């Protein structure tokens, strides 16, 4: 079971520093360094322009606040500002440096000069913050926002050499930026200023809504303790690892490259049949959670599987058929409370030889009889299986003969239930199948390795988004031709990209979960 999708290692700050020094000293001259830096800064601006739309439509005359440090993160932010101003000719920017321009690194000075030359009449450069008192910083910020605030703020203050414990007046400066309501969206380049590898109460970092990892992903951004500060993560791949030896990074956590999704973008053969694209069996739903079965099935159908057969309690069967006639709905015996009954085992068993994959658990509820049915079906099925929701129970998983063909998709609460009964953290590292840990940034655990996915939107914090994900991943598993790891990673990435597209079109609030399905096509057919 191997991962074949494009991925890069996640490096500690010391490893990242060593990598950058080696990469730039041996491979590139100054002009080439500038070219790489330009690509990074422009990628930050382009990504910010997309992500800003999750909050609102970009206004006609957007205002940009750029916090500039002395190092290369400062240069990235200045290049991003230039790109932003070029893309939206009506935009304006306020540049607030930490130190005088002449104290900055050479390429940061060059970025200053190019920005000034390009947009002299559209930028305002404030006095360096390091020369101000706390009161003067507050007075300056109040003056710049007295007419209107900023639509975007870019943190380009501190990079790999940054201090975790911020000193006066930088600490007060960042706290002012964090607390103001005059900034709509905040983004950080690489790492929010003040973030380090050790999470402590002494940290007072920049609070980003989005952090853009340019070329390298550093371990502090994936530390759960830093989540409130890093916000949503985006990986902007600059091709640093295209020629690197994979063996050099064995044992490192990995990040999936954004370029992975187009693997699914292929024309179907002229001579093909529905059976060529897999047959998925779903055991889901109850009278209480009928929608979970429907969303799982629709997720599978919309992600291209050839056939779906879904076993549901007989009391909801007719409604399911009417709502989604493309699937084959099997009415099953049910308990007094409307859940799947063990009596239906023989009926479900008839389909096990016909299908390519199984998804079980969404919406089945907490009745033990339903859990017994799922356990018995899983023991009889020899193909790949995905277990979700109420099927993620030790009493279902433990009796299974082999776990290598199983995908588990828990959120943190379900993972705690599983790991508490099956061995704590050792359960995650020793699980022989694939475990998808759902959350703000999903993690695929396999073969004692971790693959991090930086896609998605906070609009996914809605009931039913996990059911759609089970259907999408189940569809890719049933279609075959890929390892379980690849199918899980691609399905999760696709689900997250569709959510991004939806939120940029309609925002994070006034949407429903099933609208994600309408953006699967857009996510697959367009490059982000």
Structure token pair of residue 177: 């930026």
Q: At a CB cut-off of 8 Å and minimum separation 6, what does 144 contact?
A: 65, 94, 124, 126
Structure token pair of residue 108: 């940061």
Structure token pair of residue 203: 């940290």
Q: In whole angstroms, give the CA distance from residue 184 to residue 192.
A: 17
Length of the chain: 528
Q: 115-140: buried (b, 16+ CB within 10 Å) or exposed (e) per residue?
A: beeebeeebebbebbeebeeeebeeb
Residue 44 · residue 214 · CB < 8 Å? yes
DSSP E strands in 159-275: the ranges are: 183-189, 210-214, 217-218, 232-236, 254-256
Task: Report the pLDDT value the prediction gives residue 20, as an integer from 0 to 100.
Answer: 87
The DSSP H or E segment spanning 280 is strand 279-283
Q: How many helices (H) and strands (E) does the chain have?
A: 17, 19
Q: Coil, strand, or helix at residue 511?
A: coil
Among candidate residues 425, 387, 427, the one with its CA nearest the CA of residue 405:
387
Q: What is the dihedral of CA 420, 423, 425, 426, to 10 degrees?
A: -170
pTM: 0.95
Residue 32 · residue 282 · CB < 8 Å? no
Structure token pair of residue 295: 């969303």
pLDDT 10s per residue in the chain (528 long)? 689 999 999 999 999 999 888 887 765 577 888 999 999 999 999 999 999 999 999 999 999 999 999 999 999 999 999 999 999 999 999 999 999 999 999 999 999 999 999 999 999 999 999 999 999 999 999 999 988 999 999 999 987 655 556 778 999 999 999 999 999 999 999 999 999 877 666 678 999 999 999 999 999 999 999 999 999 999 999 999 987 665 678 778 999 999 999 999 999 999 999 999 999 999 999 999 999 999 999 999 999 999 999 999 999 999 999 999 999 999 999 999 999 999 999 999 999 999 999 999 999 999 999 999 999 999 999 999 999 999 999 999 999 988 999 999 999 999 988 877 666 677 888 899 999 999 999 999 999 899 999 999 999 999 999 999 999 999 999 999 999 999 999 999 999 999 999 999 999 999 999 999 999 999 999 987
Q: How far apart are the first and last CA of the chain?
A: 29
Residue 330 CA: distances (Å) to CA of 281, 282, 366: 10, 10, 21
Q: In whole angstroms, give the CA distance from residue 159 to residue 218.
A: 11
Task: Report the pLDDT value the prediction gives residue 430, as an integer from 0 to 100.
Answer: 85
The DSSP H or E segment spanning 1 is none
Q: Which domains does the chain have, with CATH numbers?
A: 7-256 (3.40.50.10260), 268-525 (3.40.1190.20)
Q: Coil, strand, or helix at residue 527?
A: coil
Q: In whole angstroms, give the CA distance from residue 298 to residue 301.
A: 5
Residue 283 · residue 389 · CB < 8 Å? no
Task: Report the pLDDT value the prediction gives residue 377, as an integer from 0 to 100.
Answer: 98
Q: In whole angstroms, give the CA distance from residue 403 to residue 407.
A: 8
Q: Coil, strand, or helix at residue 349?
A: helix
Structure token pair of residue 330: 């099997």
The residues with which 399 forms a beta bridge, in sequence order, are: none
Among candidate residues 466, 463, 475, the one with its CA nearest the CA of residue 496:
466
Q: In whole angstroms, give the CA distance from residue 256 to residue 233.
A: 12
Residue spans of alpha helices (H) in 239-366: 290-302, 314-323, 345-349
Other C-beta atoms closer than 10 Å to the C-beta of 497 total: 23
Q: In whole angstroms, give the CA distance from residue 81 to residue 29.
A: 24
Among candidate residues 504, 511, 493, 377, the one with its CA nearest the CA of residue 436:
493
Q: In whole angstroms, give the CA distance from residue 209 to residue 230.
A: 7
């Amino acid at each position: 079971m191997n991962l074949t999708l494009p991925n890069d290692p996640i490096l500690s700050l010391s490893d990242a520093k060593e990598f950058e020094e080696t990469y730039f000293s041996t491979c590139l001259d100054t002009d080439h360094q500038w070219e790489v830096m330009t690509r990074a800064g422009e990628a930050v601006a382009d990504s910010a322009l997309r992500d800003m739309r999750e909050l609102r439509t970009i206004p006609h005359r957007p205002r940009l606040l750029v916090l500039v440090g002395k190092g290369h993160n400062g240069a990235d932010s200045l290049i991003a500002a230039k790109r932003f101003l070029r893309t939206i000719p009506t935009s304006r920017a306020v540049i607030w440096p930490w130190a005088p321009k002449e104290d900055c690194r050479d390429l940061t000075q060059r970025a200053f000069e190019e920005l000034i030359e390009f947009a002299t009449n559209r930028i305002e450069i404030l006095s360096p913050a390091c020369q101000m008192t706390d009161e003067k910083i507050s007075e300056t910020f109040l003056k710049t926002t007295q007419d209107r605030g900023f639509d975007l703020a870019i943190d380009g203050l501190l990079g790999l050499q940054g201090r975790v414990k911020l000193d006066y007046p930088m600490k007060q400066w960042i706290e002012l930026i964090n607390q103001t309501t005059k900034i709509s969206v905040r983004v950080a380049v690489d790492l929010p200023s003040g973030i380090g590898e050790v999470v402590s109460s002494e940290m007072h970092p920049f609070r980003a809504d989005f952090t853009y990892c340019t070329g390298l992903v550093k371990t502090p951004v994936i530390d759960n303790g830093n989540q409130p500060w890093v916000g949503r993560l985006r990986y902007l791949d600059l091709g640093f690892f295209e020629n690197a030896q994979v063996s050099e990074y064995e044992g490192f956590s990995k990040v999936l490259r954004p370029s992975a999704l187009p693997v699914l973008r292929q024309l179907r053969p002229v001579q093909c049949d529905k059976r060529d694209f897999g047959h998925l069996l779903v055991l889901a739903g109850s009278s209480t959670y009928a929608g979970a079965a429907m969303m799982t099935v629709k997720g599978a159908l919309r992600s291209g599987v050839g056939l779906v057969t879904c076993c549901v309690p007989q009391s909801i069967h007719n409604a399911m058929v009417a709502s989604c006639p493309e699937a084959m709905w099997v009415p099953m015996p049910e308990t007094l409370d409307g859940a799947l009954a063990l009596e239906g085992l023989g009926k479900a068993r008839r389909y096990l030889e016909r299908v390519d994959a199984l998804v079980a658990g969404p919406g089945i509820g907490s009745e033990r009889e339903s859990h017994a049915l799922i356990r018995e079906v899983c023991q009889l099925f020899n193909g790949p299986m995905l277990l979700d929701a109420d099927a993620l129970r030790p009493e279902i998983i433990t009796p299974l003969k082999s776990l290598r063909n199983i995908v588990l998709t828990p959120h943190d609460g379900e993972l705690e239930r599983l790991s508490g009964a099956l061995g704590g953290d050792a359960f995650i590292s020793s699980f022989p199948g694939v475990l998808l840990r759902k959350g703000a940034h999903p993690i695929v655990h396999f073969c004692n390795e971790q693959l991090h996915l930086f896609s998605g939107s906070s609009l996914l914090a809605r009931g039913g988004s996990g059911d759609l994900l089970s259907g999408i991943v189940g569809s890719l598993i049933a279609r075959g031709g890929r390892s379980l790891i690849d199918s899980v990673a691609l399905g999760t990435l696709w689900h997250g990209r569709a959510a991004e597209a939806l939120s940029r079109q309609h925002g994070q609030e006034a949407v429903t979960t099933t609208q994600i399905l309408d953006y699967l096509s857009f996510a697959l057919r367009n490059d982000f």
